[in-house]
Structure 1
Amino acid sequence: MVRFTDRERLRVVTLDRPDRRNALRPADLDALEAAVTGAAAADVPVVYLHGAGPAFCAGADLDVVASLAEPEAFARHGQRVADTIETADPVVVAGVDGAARGGGVELALACDLRIATPEATFAEPGVRFGLFGAWGGTVRLPRVMREGDALDFALSGRAIDAEEALRTGLVSRIEEDPMAVAERLAANEPDALEVVKARMRDQRKKEEQETAEADAFGELVRAHAVDIAVDRG
Protein backbone atom coordinates (compact mmCIF):
# COMPACT_ATOMS: atom_id res chain seq x y z
CA MET A 1 0.00 0.00 0.00
CA VAL A 2 1.20 3.49 -0.86
CA ARG A 3 -0.43 6.63 0.50
CA PHE A 4 0.38 10.30 0.35
CA THR A 5 -0.53 13.60 1.99
CA ASP A 6 0.09 17.10 0.72
CA ARG A 7 1.48 19.92 2.80
CA GLU A 8 2.43 23.37 1.59
CA ARG A 9 4.80 22.74 -1.37
CA LEU A 10 5.56 19.22 -0.12
CA ARG A 11 4.03 15.80 -0.86
CA VAL A 12 4.78 13.10 1.71
CA VAL A 13 4.62 9.63 0.14
CA THR A 14 4.54 6.68 2.54
CA LEU A 15 5.25 3.05 1.70
CA ASP A 16 2.77 1.52 4.11
CA ARG A 17 3.12 -2.25 4.54
CA PRO A 18 5.08 -2.33 7.79
CA ASP A 19 4.18 -5.97 8.45
CA ARG A 20 6.12 -6.82 5.23
CA ARG A 21 8.81 -4.17 5.74
CA ASN A 22 7.08 -2.18 2.97
CA ALA A 23 7.83 -4.77 0.28
CA LEU A 24 6.38 -3.75 -3.07
CA ARG A 25 3.91 -5.57 -5.31
CA PRO A 26 3.00 -4.45 -8.85
CA ALA A 27 0.00 -2.46 -7.57
CA ASP A 28 2.26 -0.69 -5.06
CA LEU A 29 4.65 0.28 -7.84
CA ASP A 30 1.74 1.72 -9.80
CA ALA A 31 0.55 3.68 -6.76
CA LEU A 32 4.05 5.03 -6.13
CA GLU A 33 4.38 6.14 -9.75
CA ALA A 34 0.98 7.83 -9.59
CA ALA A 35 1.90 9.66 -6.38
CA VAL A 36 5.06 11.09 -7.96
CA THR A 37 3.49 12.05 -11.28
CA GLY A 38 0.50 13.46 -9.42
CA ALA A 39 2.80 15.76 -7.46
CA ALA A 40 4.16 17.12 -10.73
CA ALA A 41 0.64 17.67 -12.05
CA ALA A 42 -0.29 19.50 -8.83
CA ASP A 43 2.81 21.74 -9.06
CA VAL A 44 4.18 20.39 -5.78
CA PRO A 45 7.95 21.05 -5.99
CA VAL A 46 9.23 18.49 -3.47
CA VAL A 47 8.27 14.88 -2.76
CA TYR A 48 9.40 13.11 0.42
CA LEU A 49 9.44 9.31 0.19
CA HIS A 50 9.69 7.19 3.33
CA GLY A 51 8.55 3.92 4.83
CA ALA A 52 6.09 3.21 7.62
CA GLY A 53 7.33 1.30 10.64
CA PRO A 54 10.92 0.21 11.33
CA ALA A 55 12.05 -0.20 7.69
CA PHE A 56 12.31 1.99 4.62
CA CYS A 57 11.61 -0.69 2.03
CA ALA A 58 12.51 -4.37 1.65
CA GLY A 59 12.27 -4.11 -2.14
CA ALA A 60 10.15 -6.41 -4.25
CA ASP A 61 7.74 -8.72 -2.43
CA LEU A 62 9.53 -12.06 -2.85
CA ASP A 63 6.27 -14.00 -2.68
CA VAL A 64 5.28 -12.16 -5.85
CA VAL A 65 8.70 -12.64 -7.44
CA ALA A 66 8.61 -16.40 -6.85
CA SER A 67 5.30 -16.70 -8.71
CA LEU A 68 6.13 -14.50 -11.70
CA ALA A 69 5.41 -15.95 -15.13
CA GLU A 70 7.26 -13.05 -16.80
CA PRO A 71 9.97 -11.77 -14.45
CA GLU A 72 11.37 -9.52 -17.20
CA ALA A 73 8.09 -7.57 -17.21
CA PHE A 74 8.30 -7.07 -13.44
CA ALA A 75 11.87 -5.82 -13.80
CA ARG A 76 10.80 -3.36 -16.49
CA HIS A 77 7.89 -2.27 -14.29
CA GLY A 78 10.26 -1.36 -11.46
CA GLN A 79 12.65 0.30 -13.90
CA ARG A 80 9.84 2.49 -15.23
CA VAL A 81 8.87 3.64 -11.74
CA ALA A 82 12.49 4.39 -10.85
CA ASP A 83 12.87 6.33 -14.09
CA THR A 84 9.71 8.28 -13.25
CA ILE A 85 11.19 9.26 -9.89
CA GLU A 86 14.49 10.25 -11.47
CA THR A 87 12.99 12.36 -14.26
CA ALA A 88 9.95 13.85 -12.51
CA ASP A 89 9.85 17.63 -12.19
CA PRO A 90 9.64 17.62 -8.36
CA VAL A 91 12.77 17.05 -6.31
CA VAL A 92 12.34 13.64 -4.68
CA VAL A 93 13.94 13.07 -1.28
CA ALA A 94 14.26 9.57 0.17
CA GLY A 95 14.16 9.53 3.95
CA VAL A 96 15.74 6.21 4.89
CA ASP A 97 15.13 5.10 8.46
CA GLY A 98 15.84 1.45 9.16
CA ALA A 99 16.46 -1.16 6.48
CA ALA A 100 16.62 -0.48 2.74
CA ARG A 101 17.04 -3.73 0.87
CA GLY A 102 17.14 -4.69 -2.81
CA GLY A 103 14.52 -2.71 -4.68
CA GLY A 104 14.28 -0.35 -1.74
CA VAL A 105 17.89 0.66 -2.36
CA GLU A 106 17.11 1.03 -6.06
CA LEU A 107 14.17 3.35 -5.43
CA ALA A 108 16.36 5.42 -3.12
CA LEU A 109 19.04 5.57 -5.83
CA ALA A 110 16.48 7.05 -8.23
CA CYS A 111 15.70 9.85 -5.76
CA ASP A 112 17.56 13.14 -5.95
CA LEU A 113 18.65 13.12 -2.32
CA ARG A 114 19.02 10.18 0.05
CA ILE A 115 18.87 11.30 3.67
CA ALA A 116 19.60 8.55 6.19
CA THR A 117 18.95 8.44 9.89
CA PRO A 118 21.74 7.00 12.08
CA GLU A 119 19.71 3.76 12.25
CA ALA A 120 19.54 3.27 8.47
CA THR A 121 21.15 0.22 6.84
CA PHE A 122 21.48 -0.74 3.18
CA ALA A 123 22.03 -4.04 1.35
CA GLU A 124 21.53 -5.81 -1.97
CA PRO A 125 21.06 -9.33 -0.54
CA GLY A 126 19.65 -10.92 -3.70
CA VAL A 127 23.01 -12.39 -4.71
CA ARG A 128 22.72 -14.77 -1.77
CA PHE A 129 19.78 -16.57 -3.38
CA GLY A 130 20.51 -16.04 -7.08
CA LEU A 131 19.05 -12.59 -7.82
CA PHE A 132 20.26 -9.02 -8.18
CA GLY A 133 18.76 -5.55 -8.25
CA ALA A 134 17.02 -5.17 -11.62
CA TRP A 135 15.12 -1.90 -11.12
CA GLY A 136 18.01 0.10 -12.56
CA GLY A 137 20.39 -0.67 -9.71
CA THR A 138 23.27 -1.88 -11.86
CA VAL A 139 23.04 1.38 -13.83
CA ARG A 140 22.66 3.88 -11.00
CA LEU A 141 24.80 2.31 -8.30
CA PRO A 142 28.20 2.96 -9.97
CA ARG A 143 27.05 6.48 -10.85
CA VAL A 144 26.30 7.25 -7.21
CA MET A 145 29.11 5.29 -5.50
CA ARG A 146 32.65 4.80 -6.69
CA GLU A 147 32.79 1.76 -8.96
CA GLY A 148 34.89 -0.28 -6.54
CA ASP A 149 32.55 0.47 -3.64
CA ALA A 150 29.54 -0.26 -5.85
CA LEU A 151 30.92 -3.65 -6.85
CA ASP A 152 31.77 -4.53 -3.26
CA PHE A 153 28.30 -3.53 -2.12
CA ALA A 154 26.43 -5.35 -4.90
CA LEU A 155 28.56 -8.52 -5.08
CA SER A 156 28.94 -9.14 -1.35
CA GLY A 157 25.29 -8.73 -0.39
CA ARG A 158 26.48 -7.39 2.97
CA ALA A 159 24.63 -4.70 4.88
CA ILE A 160 26.31 -1.35 5.43
CA ASP A 161 25.38 1.22 8.04
CA ALA A 162 24.61 4.90 7.54
CA GLU A 163 28.19 6.00 8.16
CA GLU A 164 29.59 3.71 5.48
CA ALA A 165 26.79 4.70 3.12
CA LEU A 166 27.78 8.34 3.61
CA ARG A 167 31.48 7.61 3.10
CA THR A 168 30.84 5.77 -0.16
CA GLY A 169 28.37 8.35 -1.49
CA LEU A 170 25.29 6.17 -1.29
CA VAL A 171 23.56 8.75 0.93
CA SER A 172 23.73 12.53 0.79
CA ARG A 173 23.83 13.07 4.55
CA ILE A 174 22.81 11.64 7.92
CA GLU A 175 20.07 13.45 9.83
CA GLU A 176 17.87 12.58 12.80
CA ASP A 177 14.88 14.06 10.94
CA PRO A 178 15.13 13.51 7.15
CA MET A 179 11.75 15.12 6.51
CA ALA A 180 13.09 18.42 7.83
CA VAL A 181 15.54 18.41 4.91
CA ALA A 182 12.64 18.05 2.46
CA GLU A 183 10.75 20.84 4.22
CA ARG A 184 13.72 23.19 3.92
CA LEU A 185 14.08 22.36 0.22
CA ALA A 186 10.39 23.09 -0.30
CA ALA A 187 10.96 26.64 0.99
CA ASN A 188 13.12 27.40 -2.06
CA GLU A 189 11.78 28.75 -5.36
CA PRO A 190 9.98 25.87 -7.14
CA ASP A 191 11.05 26.83 -10.66
CA ALA A 192 14.71 27.04 -9.62
CA LEU A 193 14.48 23.59 -7.99
CA GLU A 194 12.98 22.15 -11.17
CA VAL A 195 15.64 23.68 -13.41
CA VAL A 196 18.57 22.62 -11.21
CA LYS A 197 17.27 19.04 -11.11
CA ALA A 198 16.72 18.95 -14.86
CA ARG A 199 20.20 20.28 -15.59
CA MET A 200 21.89 17.91 -13.12
CA ARG A 201 19.99 14.94 -14.53
CA ASP A 202 20.70 15.83 -18.17
CA GLN A 203 22.54 12.97 -19.88
CA ARG A 204 23.16 14.69 -23.22
CA LYS A 205 26.55 15.73 -24.54
CA LYS A 206 28.39 18.41 -22.59
CA GLU A 207 27.85 21.11 -25.21
CA GLU A 208 24.12 20.47 -25.37
CA GLN A 209 23.88 20.47 -21.58
CA GLU A 210 25.72 23.80 -21.32
CA THR A 211 23.45 25.41 -23.93
CA ALA A 212 20.39 24.20 -22.04
CA GLU A 213 21.92 25.41 -18.77
CA ALA A 214 22.50 28.93 -20.16
CA ASP A 215 18.97 29.06 -21.61
CA ALA A 216 17.43 27.97 -18.30
CA PHE A 217 19.52 30.51 -16.38
CA GLY A 218 18.32 33.29 -18.66
CA GLU A 219 14.70 32.29 -18.17
CA LEU A 220 15.07 32.31 -14.39
CA VAL A 221 16.80 35.69 -14.35
CA ARG A 222 14.01 37.23 -16.41
CA ALA A 223 11.37 35.60 -14.21
CA HIS A 224 12.96 36.74 -10.94
CA ALA A 225 14.65 40.01 -11.88
CA VAL A 226 12.80 41.96 -9.19
CA ASP A 227 13.59 39.45 -6.43
CA ILE A 228 17.25 39.29 -7.47
CA ALA A 229 17.57 43.06 -7.30
CA VAL A 230 16.05 43.15 -3.80
CA ASP A 231 17.78 40.13 -2.26
CA ARG A 232 21.48 39.86 -3.08
CA GLY A 233 22.22 37.55 -0.15
Structure 2
Amino acid sequence: MIETATDGRVRTIRLERPEARNALTSDGLDALERAVRETEESVIYLRGAGRAFCAGADLAAVASLEGEAVAAFVRRGQRVARALESAPAITVAGIDGAARGGGVELALACDVRVATPEATLGEPGVTFGLFGAWGGTARLPQVVGLGDALEFALSGRVVDAETALRMGLVSRIDADPRTVAAEIAAHPADALGVLKERLRDERDRETQERLEVDAFASLLERHREDVEAVLELPDGG
Protein backbone atom coordinates (compact mmCIF):
# COMPACT_ATOMS: atom_id res chain seq x y z
CA MET A 1 0.00 0.00 0.00
CA ILE A 2 3.01 2.29 0.51
CA GLU A 3 6.00 2.32 -1.85
CA THR A 4 9.22 4.23 -1.21
CA ALA A 5 12.19 5.13 -3.38
CA THR A 6 15.24 7.35 -2.97
CA ASP A 7 16.78 9.55 -5.64
CA GLY A 8 19.64 11.62 -4.29
CA ARG A 9 18.36 13.62 -1.33
CA VAL A 10 14.67 13.09 -2.12
CA ARG A 11 12.71 10.24 -0.56
CA THR A 12 9.54 9.55 -2.55
CA ILE A 13 6.68 8.02 -0.60
CA ARG A 14 3.92 6.83 -2.91
CA LEU A 15 0.44 5.83 -1.82
CA GLU A 16 -0.03 2.64 -3.81
CA ARG A 17 -3.71 1.83 -3.98
CA PRO A 18 -4.86 3.35 -7.28
CA GLU A 19 -8.00 1.20 -7.57
CA ALA A 20 -9.36 3.01 -4.49
CA ARG A 21 -7.88 6.43 -5.36
CA ASN A 22 -5.26 5.70 -2.68
CA ALA A 23 -7.76 5.74 0.18
CA LEU A 24 -6.13 4.83 3.48
CA THR A 25 -7.05 2.03 5.87
CA SER A 26 -5.62 1.65 9.38
CA ASP A 27 -2.79 -0.49 8.01
CA GLY A 28 -2.09 2.06 5.31
CA LEU A 29 -1.90 4.88 7.84
CA ASP A 30 0.50 2.88 10.01
CA ALA A 31 2.70 2.11 6.99
CA LEU A 32 2.70 5.75 5.92
CA GLU A 33 3.69 6.92 9.39
CA ARG A 34 6.57 4.43 9.47
CA ALA A 35 7.78 5.55 6.05
CA VAL A 36 7.81 9.19 7.13
CA ARG A 37 9.56 8.54 10.44
CA GLU A 38 12.19 6.28 8.87
CA THR A 39 13.21 8.85 6.26
CA GLU A 40 16.78 10.08 6.52
CA GLU A 41 16.85 12.16 3.33
CA SER A 42 16.43 15.94 3.48
CA VAL A 43 13.18 16.02 1.47
CA ILE A 44 10.10 13.79 1.48
CA TYR A 45 8.02 13.83 -1.69
CA LEU A 46 4.52 12.47 -1.02
CA ARG A 47 2.45 11.43 -4.02
CA GLY A 48 -0.29 9.04 -5.04
CA ALA A 49 -0.28 6.26 -7.62
CA GLY A 50 -2.51 6.43 -10.65
CA ARG A 51 -4.93 9.29 -11.26
CA ALA A 52 -5.39 10.50 -7.69
CA PHE A 53 -3.33 11.91 -4.85
CA CYS A 54 -5.42 10.50 -2.01
CA ALA A 55 -9.15 10.08 -1.42
CA GLY A 56 -8.59 10.26 2.34
CA ALA A 57 -9.95 7.62 4.68
CA ASP A 58 -11.29 4.38 3.22
CA LEU A 59 -15.01 4.93 3.84
CA ALA A 60 -15.80 1.22 3.75
CA ALA A 61 -13.32 0.69 6.57
CA VAL A 62 -14.66 3.72 8.47
CA ALA A 63 -18.27 2.54 8.20
CA SER A 64 -17.37 -0.77 9.86
CA LEU A 65 -15.89 0.92 12.95
CA GLU A 66 -17.66 1.26 16.28
CA GLY A 67 -16.85 2.60 19.74
CA GLU A 68 -13.20 3.09 20.60
CA ALA A 69 -12.16 1.83 17.16
CA VAL A 70 -13.50 5.07 15.66
CA ALA A 71 -11.34 7.22 17.92
CA ALA A 72 -8.32 4.95 17.30
CA PHE A 73 -8.68 5.36 13.54
CA VAL A 74 -8.92 9.14 13.79
CA ARG A 75 -5.88 9.27 16.06
CA ARG A 76 -3.93 7.21 13.50
CA GLY A 77 -4.63 9.83 10.85
CA GLN A 78 -3.67 12.62 13.22
CA ARG A 79 -0.36 10.91 14.01
CA VAL A 80 0.49 10.65 10.32
CA ALA A 81 -0.29 14.33 9.78
CA ARG A 82 1.84 15.30 12.79
CA ALA A 83 4.67 13.10 11.50
CA LEU A 84 4.63 14.95 8.17
CA GLU A 85 4.44 18.33 9.88
CA SER A 86 7.21 17.68 12.40
CA ALA A 87 9.55 15.56 10.26
CA PRO A 88 13.15 16.81 10.14
CA ALA A 89 12.84 16.50 6.35
CA ILE A 90 11.04 19.09 4.25
CA THR A 91 7.74 17.52 3.18
CA VAL A 92 6.38 18.22 -0.30
CA ALA A 93 2.94 17.02 -1.38
CA GLY A 94 2.67 16.38 -5.13
CA ILE A 95 -1.06 16.60 -5.80
CA ASP A 96 -2.00 15.08 -9.15
CA GLY A 97 -5.66 14.30 -9.71
CA ALA A 98 -8.09 14.08 -6.81
CA ALA A 99 -7.30 14.99 -3.22
CA ARG A 100 -10.32 14.56 -0.97
CA GLY A 101 -10.94 14.69 2.77
CA GLY A 102 -8.00 13.14 4.55
CA GLY A 103 -5.94 13.51 1.39
CA VAL A 104 -6.31 17.29 1.67
CA GLU A 105 -5.47 17.03 5.38
CA LEU A 106 -2.24 15.16 4.68
CA ALA A 107 -1.32 17.79 2.10
CA LEU A 108 -2.06 20.56 4.62
CA ALA A 109 0.39 18.94 7.05
CA CYS A 110 3.17 19.11 4.44
CA ASP A 111 5.52 22.08 4.23
CA VAL A 112 4.92 22.65 0.52
CA ARG A 113 1.93 21.70 -1.63
CA VAL A 114 2.39 21.52 -5.40
CA ALA A 115 -0.55 20.76 -7.68
CA THR A 116 -0.56 19.67 -11.30
CA PRO A 117 -3.00 21.50 -13.60
CA GLU A 118 -5.27 18.43 -13.37
CA ALA A 119 -5.46 18.45 -9.57
CA THR A 120 -8.75 18.92 -7.72
CA LEU A 121 -9.20 19.34 -3.98
CA GLY A 122 -12.25 19.03 -1.75
CA GLU A 123 -13.45 18.36 1.78
CA PRO A 124 -16.73 16.56 0.97
CA GLY A 125 -17.27 15.05 4.43
CA VAL A 126 -20.02 17.51 5.30
CA THR A 127 -22.14 16.21 2.40
CA PHE A 128 -22.57 12.88 4.21
CA GLY A 129 -22.50 14.20 7.77
CA LEU A 130 -18.80 14.03 8.66
CA PHE A 131 -15.73 16.29 8.52
CA GLY A 132 -11.96 16.01 8.22
CA ALA A 133 -10.62 15.03 11.64
CA TRP A 134 -6.94 14.36 10.92
CA GLY A 135 -6.07 17.85 12.15
CA GLY A 136 -7.78 19.56 9.23
CA THR A 137 -10.01 21.83 11.29
CA ALA A 138 -6.86 23.31 12.88
CA ARG A 139 -4.58 23.47 9.83
CA LEU A 140 -7.04 24.62 7.16
CA PRO A 141 -7.70 28.10 8.64
CA GLN A 142 -3.98 28.49 9.36
CA VAL A 143 -3.19 27.88 5.71
CA VAL A 144 -6.01 29.69 3.86
CA GLY A 145 -7.52 31.98 6.50
CA LEU A 146 -10.71 31.50 8.46
CA GLY A 147 -13.10 32.86 5.84
CA ASP A 148 -11.96 30.59 3.01
CA ALA A 149 -11.61 27.67 5.42
CA LEU A 150 -15.21 27.98 6.54
CA GLU A 151 -16.57 28.33 3.01
CA PHE A 152 -14.45 25.45 1.67
CA ALA A 153 -15.34 23.03 4.48
CA LEU A 154 -18.99 24.02 4.90
CA SER A 155 -19.83 23.93 1.19
CA GLY A 156 -18.14 20.60 0.52
CA ARG A 157 -17.25 21.92 -2.94
CA VAL A 158 -14.36 20.71 -5.07
CA VAL A 159 -11.90 23.31 -6.39
CA ASP A 160 -9.50 23.11 -9.31
CA ALA A 161 -5.78 23.83 -9.14
CA GLU A 162 -6.06 27.50 -10.10
CA THR A 163 -8.70 28.16 -7.43
CA ALA A 164 -6.62 26.25 -4.86
CA LEU A 165 -3.62 28.44 -5.73
CA ARG A 166 -5.63 31.65 -5.32
CA MET A 167 -6.87 30.42 -1.93
CA GLY A 168 -3.37 29.52 -0.81
CA LEU A 169 -4.41 25.89 -0.49
CA VAL A 170 -1.50 24.94 -2.76
CA SER A 171 1.85 26.70 -3.05
CA ARG A 172 2.49 26.24 -6.76
CA ILE A 173 1.16 24.62 -9.93
CA ASP A 174 3.64 22.50 -11.87
CA ALA A 175 3.17 19.71 -14.40
CA ASP A 176 5.82 17.70 -12.51
CA PRO A 177 5.65 18.48 -8.78
CA ARG A 178 8.71 16.36 -8.11
CA THR A 179 10.87 19.04 -9.74
CA VAL A 180 9.94 21.33 -6.84
CA ALA A 181 11.03 18.68 -4.34
CA ALA A 182 14.35 18.32 -6.20
CA GLU A 183 14.77 22.10 -6.30
CA ILE A 184 14.41 22.28 -2.53
CA ALA A 185 16.67 19.28 -1.96
CA ALA A 186 19.49 21.01 -3.84
CA HIS A 187 19.98 23.41 -0.90
CA PRO A 188 22.06 22.60 2.21
CA ALA A 189 20.14 20.17 4.39
CA ASP A 190 21.03 21.92 7.65
CA ALA A 191 19.73 25.26 6.36
CA LEU A 192 16.50 23.61 5.22
CA GLY A 193 16.00 22.05 8.64
CA VAL A 194 16.64 25.32 10.46
CA LEU A 195 14.26 27.23 8.17
CA LYS A 196 11.49 24.68 8.72
CA GLU A 197 11.99 24.80 12.48
CA ARG A 198 12.02 28.60 12.58
CA LEU A 199 9.05 29.10 10.24
CA ARG A 200 6.91 26.58 12.11
CA ASP A 201 7.80 27.95 15.57
CA GLU A 202 4.67 29.33 17.25
CA ARG A 203 6.30 30.64 20.41
CA ASP A 204 6.41 34.31 21.34
CA ARG A 205 8.30 36.75 19.10
CA GLU A 206 11.10 37.38 21.59
CA THR A 207 11.87 33.66 21.89
CA GLN A 208 11.75 33.22 18.12
CA GLU A 209 14.14 36.12 17.53
CA ARG A 210 16.61 34.81 20.10
CA LEU A 211 16.60 31.38 18.49
CA GLU A 212 16.89 32.99 15.07
CA VAL A 213 20.12 34.71 16.13
CA ASP A 214 21.62 31.45 17.43
CA ALA A 215 20.60 29.50 14.33
CA PHE A 216 21.97 32.12 11.94
CA ALA A 217 25.30 32.28 13.74
CA SER A 218 25.64 28.50 13.73
CA LEU A 219 24.88 28.24 10.02
CA LEU A 220 27.34 31.00 9.18
CA GLU A 221 30.13 29.12 10.93
CA ARG A 222 29.33 26.01 8.93
CA HIS A 223 28.89 27.77 5.56
CA ARG A 224 31.36 30.65 5.74
CA GLU A 225 33.28 29.38 2.71
CA ASP A 226 30.07 29.14 0.70
CA VAL A 227 29.15 32.73 1.61
CA GLU A 228 32.63 33.94 0.63
CA ALA A 229 32.32 32.10 -2.68
CA VAL A 230 29.11 34.01 -3.44
CA LEU A 231 30.94 37.30 -2.88
CA GLU A 232 33.43 36.32 -5.57
CA LEU A 233 30.73 35.93 -8.24
CA PRO A 234 30.51 38.73 -10.85
CA ASP A 235 27.07 39.87 -9.72
CA GLY A 236 27.56 39.07 -6.04
CA GLY A 237 25.22 36.11 -6.25
**Does the pair score TM above 0.5?**
yes
How many residues align? The count is: 230
Match of 1:17 in 2: 17
198-207 or 44-53, larger mean C-alpha shift? 198-207
Q: Percent identity?
A: 60
> Residue 34 of structure 1: CA displacement?
1.2
Match of 2:234 in 1: none
**Cα displacement string for residues 58-97 of structure 1 (whole angstroms, at most 9, x for unaligned residues):** 0000111111122122111111110110011100000000
Amino acid of the structure 1 residue aligned with 2:102? G
Distance 2:225 2:22 in 1: 46
1:60-209 correspondence runs (5 A): 60-69=57-66, 70-209=69-208
216-225 or 14-23, larger mean C-alpha shift? 216-225
> Residue 9 of structure 1: CA displacement?
0.5
Work out whether 1:49 is the aligned partner of 2:43: no
**Cα displacement string for residues 141-175 of structure 1 (whole angstroms, at most 9, x for unaligned residues):** 00000211111100000100001100000000111
Q: Which 5+ residue runs of structure 1 have no aligned equivalent?
A: none
Distance 1:111 1:224 in 2: 27
Q: Which 5+ residue runs of structure 2 have no aligned equivalent?
A: 232-236
- Structure 1 moving runs of 4+ over 6 Å: none
Amino acid of the structure 1 residue aligned with 2:61? V
**Cα displacement string for residues 180-211 of structure 1 (whole angstroms, at most 9, x for unaligned residues):** 11011111110000100011111111111111
> Residue 7 of structure 1: CA displacement?
1.0
TM (norm. structure 1) is 0.97
Query: What SS does the corresponding residue of 2:35 show, helix, strand or coil?
Result: helix
Of structures 1 and 2, the larger Rg is shown by 2
Query: What SS does the corresponding residue of 2:210 show, helix, strand or coil?
Result: helix
TM (norm. structure 2) is 0.95
Query: What SS does the corresponding residue of 2:33 show, helix, strand or coil?
Result: helix
Distance 2:86 2:197 in 1: 8
